[in-house]
Structure 1
């Protein structure tokens, strides 16, 4: 056997506790149960066990330190008896020496790690037979995406399931239905179903983050004189006041009438006014009569020309 101090990686001045600690650490690492099929680990485990057995015998250790015996316990030439007069190897604590005093907690730790490894192996085996995932596309309206709700979806397996649409859902968002994928044999975990949302465009509304955008046509009278007009929102119609003298492009903000956000917040609805001229001969005649008498030049006012 090699020098037992070198095998355990301790100094010759190491205490019994230090030797014991070094052995226990190596035993946990190299035990054959934790290294199946690893011949090098098995050989190292035998070496550290023999080294610990040797150094746990106080008589053998003293004789080895004094140069009276070698690491195998064989007396060196001219050193047939130890300083105490006893033959080498005949002292108390022979055989396993101090090895047995730590065997319970070492074996308990080894059993725990072995059981953990078996559990991990079982989990990996189940994962290998896990059922496959499936993917579906669900088309929903702009309003359903904004307000949320539930939809029934028929999966490729033929099962019909309820899908909850979260308020504020976006185009391309994917919902996961755990355990609704392909089944697996031998009681393994079934796969999941992934539902990709396709949000249809709305005829009037558009979305910008959590805000809803709407272009609202107004009459000349409403733009010039102001007044209350009905405005559609994702929650239904509301009455909105158009300020007198409003131009096309003016934006009215309806607080809290947008898309639902996190923590109960909501965006706004931004209403952009668009003045629509009447298709009426009398209105044309009125403008022709009014125009020459008034210096009305919006481009000059804006500094464009």
Structure 2
């Protein structure tokens, strides 16, 4: 059996890579090989491979164990010393038997096992390290360490702003499976939705891993979203901006009204407290109405006369520095 590919190699990052670099590499591969967009025969396998690699390397504890024990990191009990494991693996590669004692290669003086050149069966030695589970009766090709949990996986879920605001229900296809997803009210961009037991399959009867859906709120033509705060454009006529008014404004939760102070210029942001994205665990975000001054595209004769009269009488210069 060919050895498993190195997780760092799969993601195309060095072993010194930080979490941001690992995340960027995974996202690039996920977009490239996601089965919904890539119909190549090996796309699904490549996507699963990248997801498993990211699930391990993005978790500090799992990454630490992977760096120490390589592809066996899930099988090695938590109390095993990495150096002990490395010596055991080196001995196994030399033919399955290691000679203990002063003249032994790789196990000299190890834990008092054998003296004077006595041969020690490596499988018996490993059985001692792992609680006696690697002796007779083990499964062919493995050490018989029992059920192995499946890897956690990640995927992106694109939703609209209305879904983020009100919550909802989705049925998605992922890795050849149909999965029901409940979208919580007030979910934000980048938030993770955990689906227990929907990740990678476990080995030898082990529990499956979890699936984490990373929420991506698609751009909305009406609104701009920043965390839980939402910004909407507020068109005003020149006289409304100059004299002040109360104007209707659309929000993701329905229509509202905003008071416009006199002398409001383009770009002024008027806050409606608590009208942004809701927060089930705290205060909701705010909505900001951003002033945009609009002029009549084809003014009537009377409108034009009034504008000309205002221009003749007003001393206001918008290009003069205040």
Q: For 1:292, what is the secondary structure of its paired residue?
A: helix
- Which stretch of the first structure deviates more once superposed, 207-216 or 154-163? 154-163
1:245-277 Cα deviation digits (max 9, x unpaired): 333232211111123357311221111111111
Equivalent residue runs for 1:185-264 within 5 Å = 186-261=204-279, 263-264=281-282
Which residue does 1:286 correspond to in 2?
Answer: 306
Q: For 1:264, what is the secondary structure of its paired residue?
A: coil
Q: For 1:160, what is the secondary structure of its paired residue?
A: strand
Which residue does 1:175 correspond to in 2?
Answer: 193
Which residue does 1:23 correspond to in 2?
Answer: none
- Which stretch of the first structure deviates more once superposed, 263-272 or 148-157? 148-157
Which residue does 1:138 correspond to in 2?
Answer: 157
Q: For 1:159, what is the secondary structure of its paired residue?
A: strand
Equivalent residue runs for 1:21-170 within 5 Å = 41=112, 117=131, 125-127=146-148, 130-131=149-150, 133-165=152-184, 167-170=186-189
Change (3 A) 1:245 1:123: farther
Q: Which runs of 5+ in 1 are unaligned?
A: 1-36, 45-113
Change (3 A) 1:123 1:167: farther
Q: TM-score, normalised by structure 1?
A: 0.53
Change (3 A) 1:212 1:253: same
CA RMSD of aligned residues (A): 3.6
Q: For 1:181, what is the secondary structure of its paired residue?
A: coil
Of structures 1 and 2, the larger Rg is shown by 1
Q: Do 2:163 and 2:183's aligned partners in 1 also have CA atoms closer than 8 Å? A: no
1:40-96 Cα deviation digits (max 9, x unpaired): 52569xxxxxxxxxxxxxxxxxxxxxxxxxxxxxxxxxxxxxxxxxxxxxxxxxxxx
Distance in 2, matches of 1:254 and 1:123, equals 62
Q: Do 1:157 and 1:182's aligned partners in 2 also have CA atoms closer than 8 Å? A: no
Q: Which has the higher helix share?
A: 1
Distance in 1, matches of 2:308 and 2:319, equals 19
Q: Which runs of 5+ in 2 are unaligned?
A: 1-97, 102-108, 116-127, 134-141
1:99-146 Cα deviation digits (max 9, x unpaired): xxxxxxxxxxxxxxx9x9469x9995422xx44555433220023224
Equivalent residue runs for 1:260-275 within 5 Å = 260-261=278-279, 263-275=281-293
Distance in 1, matches of 2:160 and 2:204, equals 41
1:207-241 Cα deviation digits (max 9, x unpaired): 22332112210123322333322111121111222
Q: Do 1:155 and 1:161's aligned partners in 2 also have CA atoms closer than 8 Å? A: no
Which residue does 2:30 correspond to in 1?
Answer: none
